[in-house]
Structure 1
Amino acid sequence: MPHPPIAALRSAFTASAKPGSQDWPTLADFTVFAAAGRTCGRAPLIGLPGWTCDDAARVLALAELATRTPEGDLSAHLRTLYWRGDAHERRAVLRALPYLSVARRDPALATALVEDALRTGDPHLIAAARFADLTSATATTDPD
């Protein structure tokens, strides 16, 4: 469940998502985060074991939204998406952390989310939290 470069994640998502939903991550906003599974599908990503279309759609959407959202607002949105989200949405927020500079700029938020996930007992959240390497940001340095 490691974090692939964002270009590889985008490519695998495009190849695996429901027809017509490949652009969803670039068009999405915070209000449609929950709809990723219904819109893009939940199929496994081709070539990226452990990743599903809805995970990738949400992570790609957060990476896109991070480029046009002020850092403080992004932290607030992540907090809301995590605490109000279901297990799939929470997992996507955790999986997005290494791709977002907020993990470095707001380490208290990132740490709180990871600690909560580790306490849940949900094996998918625990795995996402374990792989949320908050010291690196694979996607922020990966050119498109």
Structure 2
Amino acid sequence: MPHPPIADLRSAFTASAKPGSQDWPSLADFTVFAAAGRTCGRAPLIGLPGWTCDDAARVLALAELAARTPHHDLSAHLRTLYWRGDAHERRAVLRALPYLGITGHDPALAMSLVADALRTGDPHLIAAARFAGTQDGPEPG
């Protein structure tokens, strides 16, 4: 399931994350975006095959950021997080794109991130890129 409803993602994260880190997305400071794996763990999410705690933590944090940020600022944040991030962080940015409406507001950014991921040869980034550009996005949550 590439794009579970955001409510399902949040529930699975809460059930699977390290004790004490379940509120991480709502407390996230984007200077600690890289710390999601250490803080929340990298365990698989219960009931959501292919998702890990660190992926979910980052996607939920980006969804929260998107709710309170103008689209042009969100694009700048995503660009920075992707280009400065490691493979885990890049994968999370790609996985978050359908939840953020970026393909409609900044399709050039979405396409450039997807194109870069496809060029890497990293199977995890390629898998994330495969679903990143979908126009229909996740199911309502």
TM range (shorter): over 0.9
- The one-letter code sitting in structure 1 at the alignment partner of 2:97 is L
1:131 Cα offset (Å):
1.5
2:99 maps to 99
5+ residue gaps, structure 2? none
Q: Is the 8 A contact 1:82 1:89 kept in 2?
A: yes
1:66 maps to 66
1:130 Cα offset (Å):
0.6
Deviations 1:7-29 (A, max 9, x none): 00000000000001000001113
- The one-letter code sitting in structure 2 at the alignment partner of 1:90 is R
1:129 maps to 129
Looking at structure 2, the residues matched to 110 and 47 of structure 1 have their Cα atoms a distance apart, in angstroms, of 28
Alignment of 1:15-34 (within 5 A): 15-34=15-34
Q: Is the 8 A contact 2:59 2:95 kept in 1?
A: yes
Looking at structure 1, the residues matched to 30 and 79 of structure 2 have their Cα atoms a distance apart, in angstroms, of 12
1:86 Cα offset (Å):
0.1
Looking at structure 2, the residues matched to 24 and 5 of structure 1 have their Cα atoms a distance apart, in angstroms, of 19
Deviations 1:82-131 (A, max 9, x none): 00000000000000000002221000000000000000000000000012
Over aligned residue pairs, what C-alpha RMSD do you find? 1.1
- The one-letter code sitting in structure 1 at the alignment partner of 2:60 is L
1:134 Cα offset (Å):
3.1
Name the TM-score, length of structure 1 as normaliser: 0.94
Structure 1 stretches of 4+ moved >4 Å? none
Q: Percent identity?
A: 84
Q: Is the 8 A contact 1:13 1:53 kept in 2?
A: yes
2:6 maps to 6
Q: Is the 8 A contact 1:30 1:77 kept in 2?
A: no
Name the TM-score, length of structure 2 as normaliser: 0.96
Looking at structure 1, the residues matched to 133 and 120 of structure 2 have their Cα atoms a distance apart, in angstroms, of 19
Q: Is the 8 A contact 2:16 2:45 kept in 1?
A: yes
- The one-letter code sitting in structure 1 at the alignment partner of 2:16 is S
Q: Is the 8 A contact 1:10 1:56 kept in 2?
A: yes
- The one-letter code sitting in structure 1 at the alignment partner of 2:88 is H
5+ residue gaps, structure 1? none
